[in-house]
Amino acid sequence: MTLIHPVIMCGGSGTRLWPRSRKTMPKPFLPLVGEQTLFEETIARASDPAQFAASTVVTGAAHLPHVEAQLGDAEASIIVEPEAKNTAAAIALAALRLPEDAVMLVCPSDHHIADVAAFQAAAQAAAKLAREDRMVAFGITPTHPETGYGYILQGDPLEGGFAVERFVEKPDLERATEFLAHGGYSWNGGIFAFRAGAFVSELEAHRPDLAAAVRAAVEQGSEEGARFHPAPEPFAQVQSESVDYAVMEETSRAAMVPVSMGWSDIGGWPALRDARAGDDNGNRVNGNAELVDCRNVLVDSDGPRVSAIGLEDVAIVVDGDEVLVTSMDGAQKVGKLSGAARQ
Amino acid sequence: MTLIHPVIMCGGSGTRLWPRSRKTMPKPFLPLVGEQTLFEETIARASDPAQFAASTVVTGAAHLPHVEAQLGDAEASIIVEPEAKNTAAAIALAALRLPEDAVMLVCPSDHHIADVAAFQAAAQAAAKLAREDRMVAFGITPTHPETGYGYILQGDPLEGGFAVERFVEKPDLERATEFLAHGGYSWNGGIFAFRAGAFVSELEAHRPDLAAAVRAAVEQGSEEGARFHPAPEPFAQVQSESVDYAVMEETSRAAMVPVSMGWSDIGGWPALRDARAGDDNGNRVNGNAELVDCRNVLVDSDGPRVSAIGLEDVAIVVDGDEVLVTSMDGAQKVGKLSGAARQ
């Protein structure tokens, strides 16, 4: 069995988990669900040497200290992007640094996956399709009509998966509900498998300028121990585009592997609550707290004791000099708070 | 016009406003409603020298530093109780220290009264009845069927008030609703007017042992500047009983003065919310806070910023290393929290 090359995408920060997630200590590097950080979980679930080669981490200078501290003893190459240019460029950097026949498994570093065995089985199925030069997306079996994700409609069956009939933008609730009733729709979780050379060929076919600029940045780049620095000037010319637009929606070779693996993008406080194990009343407590007559309440305190009475579906987060109290429905507005905006 | 002698009752602590109110800094000494503390408000509203003599403050050793600090330049005698023995004994101490013909106005130190002019007018009406040796209670005109207070049913009219038909213990909601529909029922707010000598006579008639023990404590007590220390040994023999039981429900001379004065005993976080001025959405914010989609929310922070989204009828209190988040309905359980119990 050929080894799979994990490519860990470690960019962006986001404000939806403010005030716990901050610019200086963003989401991937926080122990949000269990003892490990989301980044450490991501590295660990693709670390079995019988299945996986050493990881390639694509990140920016701001996150580099966190990446290196949390990699610990794990063997990894690190590509330090001169600036953030979205996922098509980030994946292309890794593809051009790996052997042409390496099968890449592109993994965001800020997701939680409860069922690691299911993840690994899907990775093997996706790798098999990728070796046939398929552009493969994980299709997460939906558990509810989520409006925050794009969807993938499956087409003809392939060995271990399906061709992609089409990708669908984030739907409204009515359409999401129809998708679940219809069947065959999966969430696009941003996890992909490609043969490196095949990815570069597809990118060159559909986004030749983008591919050429990334190639120049790699050719003129410099190594520094385990770090690789693409050249800033050619990289500055790279178009900022998602891999979904630049490749997945353009290629005729898109495939998907359906998987149900307890996946969450931890896209806000309600998602974090749901990813944590609750007590008999559905409450999730991290830190010093006393809850009375509460249901489905999330408490996350970095120190002060939180006493809560008579609440339902509320998140209470204490972080340094910030206290957030939000209804689960209201949590989508966390990013617009002045505290989150000015952090 | 004879001057009224304010008697400010400054005992007890209570846990219903935890964590803001603590054993070491209890409710009367906190600026809960406005800039002034409740104790300062109490002193100030009975300080007009055209109407009031110097105050007598009855308190315990634990509260003495707060009392003396917050009296500032106000002239006052302080009676330092050797131990807390409830209101009958506390009032008796003051009555025995004042001239027999002094008209006492007994005022708890932890209430808020929005309409000071109405308070003073009622004080004058009560004083007039007290000079005729009536035992006079303020009867607060009820604004809702509150189950947390005792009620007073008025009887025959007197000049400036009414005789008391009867005192009623805290009712359940059904009875409280009946009281409001019936009319003639007022809340017993614990504010009383007595001629000092008349109060002592009534106490001697109905609780002779209690009266004798307090008299012995006063006779054997010692002065220390503005402070008077009743003798601890006789005071230890005093029965702990409320003035309501020991005198008001026993006497044939009970009277009441109806008054509507924006009164609140600030008996918990909902009462404090209602006593504060709200914004257009009914929110009350004290401290650094940002509220989004909130209604009738109370925020009280001693430092950290509080960000709240999508909440209704919730209190959020930050005090040092304690954060309390409670529904208004749940706030009655605040005193039972382990933080409040172990403070």
Give the domain CATH number at A234: 3.90.550.10
Last residue of a domain, one of A232, A264, A296: A264
Statement to judge: residues B162 and B30 lie in one domain: yes
Q: Is the CA virtual torsion B108, B116, B263, B245 positive or negative?
A: positive
Q: Check: CB of residue B292 under 8 Å from CB of residue B310.
A: yes
Contacts of residue B69, defined as CB under 8 A and 6 or more positions apart, other chains included, come to: none
Choose the closest CB to B323 out of A305, A326, A330. A305
Last residue of a domain, one of B264, B286, B312: B264
Statement to judge: residues A236 and A208 lie in one domain: yes
Statement to judge: residues B55 and B172 lie in one domain: yes
Helices marked H in chain A: 38-45, 64-71, 86-97, 116-131, 173-182, 196-206, 208-219, 232-236, 243, 269-275, 338-342
pLDDT in tens, A12-61: 767 899 999 998 889 999 999 989 999 999 999 999 999 999 999 999 99
Mutate to test the interface with A, among B20, B281, B301, B307 (most CBs of A within 10 A): B307
Per DSSP, what are the bridge partners of residue A327? A314
Q: Which domain holds residue B299?
A: 269-342
Contacts A21 to B, Cβ<8 Å? none
Contacts B293 to A, Cβ<8 Å? 330, 333
C-alpha A197/C-alpha B242 separation (Å) is 89
Statement to judge: residues B109 and B253 lie in one domain: yes
Statement to judge: residues B251 and B282 lie in one domain: no
Residue A316 to residue B333, Cβ atoms within 8 A? no
**Residue A138, exposed/middle/buried by CB under 10 A (0-12, 13-18, 19+)?**
buried
- The end-to-end CA distance of chain A, in Å, is 47
pLDDT of residue B78: 98
Statement to judge: residues B25 and B158 lie in one domain: yes
Statement to judge: residues B54 and B145 lie in one domain: yes
Statement to judge: residues B70 and B98 lie in one domain: yes
Q: Does B339 touch chain A (CB under 8 A)?
A: yes
Q: Check whether B342 has a pLDDT greater than 80.
A: no
Statement to judge: residues A14 and A81 lie in one domain: yes
Residue B325 to residue A304, Cβ atoms within 8 A? no
Residue A330 to residue B310, Cβ atoms within 8 A? yes
Mutate to test the interface with A, among B15, B316, B323 (most CBs of A within 10 A): B323
pLDDT of residue B73: 87
The structural domain count of chain B equals: 2
The model's pTM: 0.90
| Structure-block tokens of residue A197 | 């050379």
Residue A326 to residue B316, Cβ atoms within 8 A? no
Residue A334 to residue B306, Cβ atoms within 8 A? no
Determine the residue of chain A that is closest to B305 in CA distance. Answer: A322
pLDDT in tens, B294-308: 999 999 999 999 999
Last residue of a domain, one of A222, A239, A264: A264
| Structure-block tokens of residue A99 | 């052997």
Statement to judge: residues B213 and B71 lie in one domain: yes
ipTM of the complex: 0.88
Q: Check whether B338 has a pLDDT greater than 90.
A: no
Statement to judge: residues B290 and B254 lie in one domain: no
Determine the residue of chain B that is closest to A309 in CA distance. Answer: B326
Contacts B316 to A, Cβ<8 Å? 323, 325
Alpha carbon distances (Å) from B79 to B63, B92, B101, B216, B228: 11, 11, 19, 15, 5
Q: Which three-class secondary structure state does DSSP give residue B342?
A: helix
pLDDT in tens, B158-208: 999 999 999 999 999 999 999 999 999 999 999 999 999 999 999 999 999
CA distance A310 to chain B (A): 5
pLDDT of residue A125: 98
Determine the residue of chain A that is closest to B325 in CA distance. Answer: A308
Statement to judge: residues B211 and B303 lie in one domain: no
Residue B307 to residue A333, Cβ atoms within 8 A? no
**Residue range A89-97: mean pLDDT, rounded:** 98
Where residue B341 falls among pLDDT bands split at 50, 70, 90?
Answer: confident
**Residue range B83-91: mean pLDDT, rounded:** 97
C-alpha A188/C-alpha A176 separation (Å) is 13
C-alpha B147/C-alpha B142 separation (Å) is 11
Choose the closest CB to A318 out of B292, B323, B338. B323
pLDDT of residue A16: 92
Q: Does B309 touch chain A (CB under 8 A)?
A: yes
**Residue range A300-313: mean pLDDT, rounded:** 97
Q: Which residues of B, range 314-333, sit inside 8 Å of A by Cβ?
A: 314, 316, 318, 320-327, 329-331, 333
- CA B297 to chain centroid, in Å, comes to 25
Q: Does B251 touch chain A (CB under 8 A)?
A: no
What is the average pLDDT value for chain A, to the nearest integer? 96
